[in-house]
Structure formats: C-alpha cells, structure tokens
Amino acid sequence: MAVPDTVPPTAGFLTRPPALFKSEALVVGFSEPMDPSTLVLTGDLAVVATPGWNAGSDTLTLTPGPAGWPLGSALRIALEARDKAGNALAPLQAEFLVRLDLRTNQPALAVIGQTDFSGIHGNQPQGVPTASNLVYPTGNPYLSPQGRLVVPDSGNNRLLVYDGVPTASGASAVAVVGQPDLSSNAYLVDAAHRLTPRGMAAWGDRFIVSEHFADRVAIYPESPLGGTSTLPTVVLGLPAFGTDTRQLINAPTCDATRLLRPTGVAVTPDGRLLVADSGHHRVLIWNRVPTVSGTPADLVLGQSGMNTCDPNATATSGEASAVSARSLNAPVGLWTDGTRLVVVDAGNHRALIWNSFPQASFAPADRVLGQPDFTTNSNAPAPSASTVARGAGGGNLYGEVTSNGVQLAIADTFDCRVLLWNDFPMRNGQAADIVLGQATFTERLAEPKGASTLYFPTGVLFTREALLVPNGFRVSIFPSR
C-alpha cells in the first residue's frame, strides 16, 4: 500500500526581491509538482500577472501585461497553492520595487518653471517671480508623503509647493515657503525667509531645509507645505536666525556647531540628521534631529575631529592632505536609507559609498564611484560612463545624489547629464547604465533648451513614475517608459 503524501510543499522566489524590471517575469520554484488549478494570487502585482507553469508543474512564471508591472515600491505579491496530493503550501509572499524604465537620451515629458522646452531665461515672461517660474532651482526636489512636490527655487530664495508632480509644462505652484507671497524673492536671513535653499528632508512632522548662502539649516516644528504661516524654530550653523552670514563667511575656525555653504541634507528612518557641510569639507551627523538651536553634531565624516576643516584631511592635524577612503573635498550631495550612505565628493570627482551607516567619526567608505580606487582623485579629461563630478571642485558646489533603494542617480552637473545605475553599485569605479541629457556617455553638450538636453543639472528625485531633474531655469520630468 502506498504511503499517503502528507508533507506540505515549499517554495521560493527565483526572481529575488527586492527589485523587478518593468517587463521582467517573476519566477517561483516549488519543491514538488503542484496542482495549477489551486493557485491563488493576491496583491498589487497579481492584478496584472499572467501565470504559466512548466511541464513538471514545479516552476511558475508570472508575466506582466503589455504595460508591464505597476511602478513603485513595496508592491506585494502573495500566492497560495496545493500539491498533487492536496497538501497546502504555506502562504508565500514578498514585496518588490519596480524600477523606473529610463533610457539613454530619452526626452522629458514636461518642465516646471517654463511653458515649454524652448525657454532659456529665469522668471519668464516678465522677469519677476510668479507661481509658475524659477531661477536656478538647485538641489534635490522633495515629495511629501501627502504627495506635495517641493522645488528649491534657490535663485528666488523660496520653496515652491505643487499639488503633485505636474504632467504638463508651465504648472503653477499652490504654495510658497520662505517668502510672504508668490511674487516676492527677498534676500533676507530672518526666520521667515529662506535664503538660497538647497536641501530638504523631513522626519515626522518636522521639515528641514539647508540654506546655502545663509550658512545654516532651518528646522520647522511642523510641515509648512500646506501654505501655513509656520516658521522654523531651530537653526543649525548659526547662533540665531537673524545673524548676518556675510560676516561669518570663511570663518578661520570650525567646530561642531558651524556650517559653511551647506548643501544636501538627509534624515534616517530612526531620526539621525546628516548635513553636507561643503565649505568645511565634511558631513556632520546628529544622532537625533535637534530641537534646540546650536546643538552640536555628534559625528563627523571627512575630518578626524570637529575642529579641522581641511580638504582631504588626514588623521593627524598638520599633515599634508591625502585623498583616501576617509577624506572629503567639498562634499555636496548625500543620500541614505539608514543603512547605506552615499556622498558626492565633488572636489575629489567621485562619490563615496558606505555599506553600513557610520558609527564613528572619520569612518572610511567601502566603495567609490568615479575613480578606480580611494587614493585617486583625477579630473578625467573627458566624460565616460565611469566618471562622476568631472569639472567640479573649488567653489563649484553642485551635484546631488538620490536612490529609490535599488536604482542610484547622480546629477553630474558639469557634464550636463544625469547618471543612472539600475542596480545599486557593488564595485569601485562601476560604470553607469544610463545617461540622461546626452546622446552617449562620452558627449558633453551644454544646451539650455530641448526635451532631451540638460543644462548643468543640480539635483535628482525619484518619484513613483518619473525622475525629476532641476537644470538651468527649469525642472525636467523624465517619465518611466
């Protein structure tokens, strides 16, 4: 007499989480033949999935429809099934991120700040700020959990707030932060104004903005993005909101409280604040988002201590500078998910990657992009798929970075392009997969108009369906294909 099969089957995803390409099949392997008629699929991806079994009924292939998988992150797929003997599979589920499907030199769908792709001037058409124009938007835009898009309109000393990501050129902002109305751009350093805003981040209800020429970071106790009159209550880098920064430029000393030309900011999921203190050649880290003005930073990257601010500093004060896995020279952009950290080290023409979040000051990076190793900082004579921040350095504090957790994008400002890696880089000097703004990786066309061109891009933002790139007097919106 045959022994009845009472052992439940097992299964696993052969297409490993967490990422899928838009048209990539998702494959599941089973420990034994299954009964296809018992298959039940649920979740975001199940809506468009077409199942197909192999001849042995132990491999399932889920193929997306003609439009591909839905875009976004945390997209769930779950399945239930039984084997030939009727034993139930323990429910199998996973979450995937579907990569944006971007192609080299593809055209943008629309622009913010201009009525079309031929506009090449700021504050068009009358030369004054309005709800629909920009002057040198600089840094990464920000998308709130509520779906509000914020653009750092740096040349107008304000943040423009849009009700979602526009799908047509010439969209108007619905609110402004840092100015009393949509027609003002005053150059002031008080709490009510934002002077050349660059970086933005949020943690809970708090909203954080770096102000490049104000040498400060402003922290709002609650989000101002709804057009409220909320003012920031905490300032970092300066003693108070009313301090005139022009008296502090090139201060002879630095410490754990000072900032000089801050650019990128980021907050980890557990509330650690990072600021790219570009003019001091370091990244400052606070273990918690400060609630008191002037709170000193807890950690520093790029320097051996809080009281040195030299480019490519060494472990011993007074030693000659030396580029290394620990050193920084005008760091500009940064991104973190709380584990990994990426810093665009503009003056060294590279980007540094920490595989795990630094727990001590002067911690060395684990990988480098733009250079073959940690001791090289050559400014390549021509662009390639492996060069980053070419031409940057000195006072050229531009070039942000962002990631959706899988893909990595860097605004390669002085080669007028954005570099995109479809998978998070794992090797030193790893070449990018895609370039936007140029026809090839070796070209460098600086063109302020056109749907496929970029004019000195300064920032990048992944949204669910597009990549946004501030450049020139506009923000270009590149949709997933």
Q: Are 438 and 419 in contact (CB under 8 A)?
A: no
Position 250 scores a pLDDT of 47
Same domain, residue pair 147 and 52: no
* Residue that has been written with the tokens 């770096």 in this structure: 210
Evaluate whether residue 351 is within a structural domain. yes
Same domain, residue pair 376 and 325: yes
Q: Last residue of some domain: 74, 98, 122?
A: 98
**Class of residue 247 by CB neighbours under 10 A (exposed 0-12, middle 13-18, buried 19+):** exposed
Task: Identify the CATH number of the domain in which residue 130 sits.
Answer: 2.120.10.30
**Class of residue 252 by CB neighbours under 10 A (exposed 0-12, middle 13-18, buried 19+):** exposed
Position 111 scores a pLDDT of 98
Q: Last residue of some domain: 63, 79, 98?
A: 98
**Using CA of residue 464, residue 470, residue 473, residue 476, what is the dihedral sign?**
negative
Q: Are 139 and 153 in contact (CB under 8 A)?
A: no
Evaluate whether residue 239 is within a structural domain. yes
Same domain, residue pair 38 and 141: no
Rounded to whole angstroms, the Cα distance separating 170 from 408 reads 28
Position 251 scores a pLDDT of 57
Q: Are 270 and 204 in contact (CB under 8 A)?
A: no
Rounded to whole angstroms, the Cα distance separating 329 from 261 reads 13
Alpha-carbon distance values, 360 to 39, 298, 300, 303 (Å): 50, 9, 8, 11
Same domain, residue pair 309 and 274: yes
Rounded to whole angstroms, the Cα distance separating 206 from 208 reads 7
Same domain, residue pair 264 and 375: yes
Q: Which residues of the chain have pLDDT under 50?
A: 250
Same domain, residue pair 252 and 234: yes
Same domain, residue pair 183 and 48: no
Is the pTM value of this prediction over 0.85?
yes
User: Can you say how many angstroms the Cα of residue 1 is from the centroid of all Cα atoms in its chain?
Assistant: 64
User: Tokens in use for 247?
Assistant: 């008296």
Q: Are 348 and 368 in contact (CB under 8 A)?
A: no
Same domain, residue pair 76 and 170: no
Same domain, residue pair 82 and 129: no
Q: Last residue of some domain: 72, 98, 124?
A: 98
**Class of residue 337 by CB neighbours under 10 A (exposed 0-12, middle 13-18, buried 19+):** middle
* Residue that has been written with the tokens 């630095």 in this structure: 254
Q: Are 374 and 363 in contact (CB under 8 A)?
A: no
β-strands 367-369, 206-211 pairing: unpaired
Same domain, residue pair 155 and 233: yes
Evaluate whether residue 3 is within a structural domain. no
Position 229 scores a pLDDT of 78
Parent domain of 110: 102-481
Q: Is 293 helix (H, G, I), strand (E, B) or coil?
A: coil
Evaluate whether residue 6 is within a structural domain. no
Same domain, residue pair 338 and 441: yes
Task: Identify the CATH number of the domain in which residue 84 sits.
Answer: 2.60.40.1220
* Residue that has been written with the tokens 């008191």 in this structure: 292
Number of domains in the chain: 2
User: Tokens in use for 211?
Assistant: 């102000």
User: Tokens in use for 356?
Assistant: 């795990």
Same domain, residue pair 253 and 397: yes
Evaluate whether residue 409 is within a structural domain. yes
